[in-house]
Amino acid sequence: MSIGHDTDDLAHGTTPLSLPSLTGCAQALSVTRYNSLPDPFGKWTTMVYHLRLVSDQTGLIEIWADGKKISKTEGIVGFKPFLAKESQYFKFGSYRNHAEFATVTRLDHYVRSEQKADVDPDGTLAPP
């Protein structure tokens, strides 16, 4: 286990996850864990996210790292916005609780699209 990872491997591992008391935007979620996140220190990690952020049970978040499926979350993962659609925005970066080490996010070959073929044309970054 690398420095900075949880000692009980809850956030990064395949330990079963129970979400019984969530309210608001994140409720009625089903989380399936497939693999642990790779150690991100000292190397590039290729991340792929598939998001369907909607306010009903068809919501979906899938995550791959270095070609391995990490997790799938299904359920209510979106919300009904109070503002007009034009006021919504996409934001990405290092968001976490304070750590005893510096965190830096660098993006290389960033792609955002509504089509998987634009992000992963040969199917190696996010295999089934």
Check whether 50 has a pLDDT greater than 80: yes
Buried b vs exposed e over 76-109: b needs ≥16 C-beta within 10 Å? bbbeeeeeeeeeeeeeeeeeeeeeeeeeeeeeee
Per-residue pLDDT, 81: 62
Give the residue carrying structure tokens 């290389």.
108
Cα–Cα distance measured from residue 75 to residue 21, given in angstroms and rounded to the nearest whole number: 14
Tell me which H or E stretch contains 118.
helix 116-119
Cβ neighbourhood burial of 74 (10 Å; 0-12, 13-18, 19+): middle
User: pLDDT tens digit string along 61-118?
Assistant: 999 999 999 999 998 877 666 555 555 566 777 776 777 877 777 888 888 888 999 9
Q: Count of CB atoms within 10 A of residue 34's CB?
A: 13
Confidence of residue 8 (pLDDT cuts 50, 70, 90): very low
